[in-house]
Amino acid sequence: MKKRVVVAMSGGVDSSVTAHLLKEDGFEVIGATMRVWKETIQKGLDRCCGASDVEDARHVAQKLGIPFYVFNMEEEFEKEVIQYFCTEYGKGRTPNPCILCNEKIKFNSFLNKALDLEADFIATGHYARLEFDERMNRYLLKKGLDSRKDQSYVLFSLTQNQFSRTLLPLGHLKKEEVRVKALQLGLRVHDKPESQEICFIHELSYHSFLRERLGGAVEPGSIVDQRGNVLGKHKGIPFYTIGQRRGLGLARGKPLYVTGIDRDKNQIIVGEEADVYAESFLVDSVNWINDPFAGPSISAQVKIRYNHPGAAATLFIKENKEVLVTFLTPQKAVTPGQAAVLYDGEIVLGGGWIREVVKPEKT
Report the percent of the chain where pLDDT is more than 90: 84
Is 101 one of the annotated active-site residues of the chain?
yes
Q: Which of 49, 86, 98, 101 is catalytic?
A: 101
Average pLDDT of the residues in 151-161: 98
Q: Which residues of the chain does CATH 3.40.50.620 include?
A: 4-184
C-alpha span between 95 and 81 (Å, rounded): 10
C-alpha span between 265 and 261 (Å, rounded): 9
Question: pLDDT for 238-272, tens place per residue?
Answer: 999 999 999 999 988 889 999 999 999 999 999 99
> Given a cut of 90, is residue 295 above it in pLDDT?
no
Report the percent of the chain where pLDDT is more than 70: 94
Kindly write down the DSSP assignment for every residue of 167-213, as one continuous string.
E-GGGGS-HHHHHHHHHHTT-TTTTPPPP-S-TT--SSSSHHHHHHH
C-alpha span between 149 and 165 (Å, rounded): 23
Q: Which of 48, 86, 98, 199 is catalytic?
A: 199
State the burial class of residue 110 (Cβ atoms within 10 Å of its Cβ: 0-12, 13-18, 19+): buried
H-run or E-run covering 230: strand 230-234
Q: State which fold the 4-184 domain adopts.
A: Rossmann fold (3.40.50)
C-alpha span between 98 and 45 (Å, rounded): 18
Q: Which residues of the chain does CATH 2.40.30.10 include?
A: 278-358
> Given a cut of 80, is residue 49 above it in pLDDT?
no
Q: Which residues of the chain does CATH 2.30.30.280 include?
A: 219-271
Longest dimension (CA), the chain: 71
CATH architecture of 219-271: Roll (2.30)
Indicate the pLDDT class of residue 47, thresholds 50, 70 and 90.
low
> Given a cut of 90, is residue 319 above it in pLDDT?
no
Greater model confidence, 40 or 17 = 17
Q: Are 231 and 223 in contact (CB under 8 A)?
A: yes
Is 98 one of the annotated active-site residues of the chain?
no
Average pLDDT of the residues in 90-100: 95
Q: State which fold the 278-358 domain adopts.
A: Elongation Factor Tu (Ef-tu); domain 3 (2.40.30)
